[in-house]
Chain A
Amino acid sequence: MKNPSDKYFKFIAGLVFLLVLVFLNPKNIFNPVRGIFLGMAYPFQKTFYLTSEKTGDIFSLFSSISNLKSENGNLLRENNTLSARIAELAGQKKENEDLRKELQLTPRKDFQLEAMTVIAQDSNGLGSWIMTDKGKNSGIETGMPVIVYDGILVGKVSEVYANSSKINLLTDSASSINANDLATGAKGILMGEYGLGIALNMVAQTEVLNEGDDIVTSGLGETIPKGFLIGKVAQVKSTPDKLFQQALITPRVKYSELDTVFAVKRSL
């Protein structure tokens, strides 16, 4: 007959061993082992993620069929509005170029970009990170900014493996980036809100923040260049101690729906 105390001994021994593993191991010490597993997982991840995107599209198609009629009406109205705006924007194009020069914003063509496909994402719904299919072998390095097509910043490379890399999104609460209000120049530190959103913190009370203003990277003291768009100011409020202002930012892209992103390797 089995001794019941054997069971408790195994449970406690296992628990103690794992607690030591979690709390006492130096950061990233297991990365080489993790790299081996990720190398093995890579083909499956890529196939599974592409499949899930297709399946997700089918599900969203079913759920959207009932809304097609009203959506069609909205799109027709939007089409008319946009046609009018094209004419208006043509005039603003030159003004925009002048402003970019004046504000020293860097256009996208000035960077060497590495296109990466998303192969996995934070499974807890927090939107804290994504994993991409490019790594050390493609010249990806820790700290590189990651953008989407239009020069919109979505995060930074945080861990690099042979053929994959982990990108910490701006919504990750460990993320911290210097940014400023494009219209007023108000400076602050952009921080993630536990995967729920982004906030521009530490903005002095003397600075001006307006709802609807664009927020861009300021390029101060870090590897992220100046002028990447982040999002729009959705709400402005004071901190409880009234020392600073805080702006809640609506990101320009839905981080949960990213499929292709670009690592900014270096300025040309």
Chain B
Amino acid sequence: MLYQNILTISFIFLAAVTKISLFPEIFPGHIAPDILLILIIIWSTHKTFESFWLWAVFAGLILDAVSLERIGVNAISFLVISFGVDFLSRRFFISQRRGMFFWTAGLVCAGVITNYFLVGGIHLASGNLSAQFFSWHDLFFELLNNLIVFSLIYLPVTNFKSIFPIEKSRLTVK
């Protein structure tokens, strides 16, 4: 358990650094995909909100700290998205296990859009003049780049259950 927690913290930390130092130069439009958000969504589909919400908040706080963001902005977004993913996966995934990849891809798109508006909205509400609230160009590249990264990491993350904090399945019909 301790070993897995240390690994999870390491993954969260490296994902946050990757977002600001590795991805901006590589991806089109200089818009870095949010690998941490994708991990949170994948993990949230496999765990209950009650067992995962603190990890989502922790990941958001780490991302805020490393990306020079106002502390708490990404944490709020990750908490809301984790709650939303839990809500949706409980209701719609039970009979849809075969299409898990595509369902999760849909959740990633919804999560990216939610994150985009939530973070932009919080910036505006907190008086951050640097924030630009909406741009079709940015949103398009956010979705495209995040889907590229999602399709690359989905299989490794879901297959290496012993490394990543994923339980076999929590979805049961009662």
A-side interface residues toward B, CB under 8 Å?
A: 2, 6-7, 10-11, 14-15, 18-19, 21-23, 25, 30, 33-34, 37-38, 40-41, 44-46, 48-49, 51-53, 55-56, 59, 119-129, 131, 159, 166, 172-174, 192, 194-196, 256
Contacts and interface: CB of A to CB of B under 8 A. Distances in A.
B53 A14 contact: yes
A182 B80 CA distance: 51
Q: Which are the 6 A-B pairs with shortest beta-carbon distances?
A: A123-B32, A21-B72, A125-B31, A48-B21, A52-B25, A22-B72
Given A11-B53, A11-B83, A45-B17, A22 B25 contact: no
Contacts of B126: 22-23
B103 interface: no
A41 B21 CA distance: 10
B26 A59 contact: yes
Contacts, number: 137
Given A14-B57, A33-B65, A56-B25, A194 B20 contact: no
Contacts of A53: 25
Given A52-B22, A55-B26, A120-B20, A22 B76 contact: yes
Contacts of A34: 65, 68, 71
Contacts of B86: 7
Interface of B: 13-14, 16-26, 29-32, 34, 48-50, 53, 57, 60, 62, 65-68, 70-73, 75-76, 79-80, 83, 86, 122, 125-126, 129-132, 138, 141
Contact of B50 (A2, A37, A38, A49): A2
Nearest to B14: A44
Given A59-B26, A172-B130, A121 B20 contact: yes
B79 A15 contact: yes
30 contacts: A2-B50, A7-B50, A15-B79, A22-B73, A22-B122, A23-B126, A30-B65, A37-B62, A38-B65, A40-B13, A41-B16, A41-B66, A44-B21, A48-B17, A48-B18, A49-B25, A51-B22, A52-B24, A52-B26, A55-B26, A120-B24, A120-B67, A123-B20, A123-B32, A123-B67, A128-B130, A131-B68, A173-B130, A194-B132, A256-B24
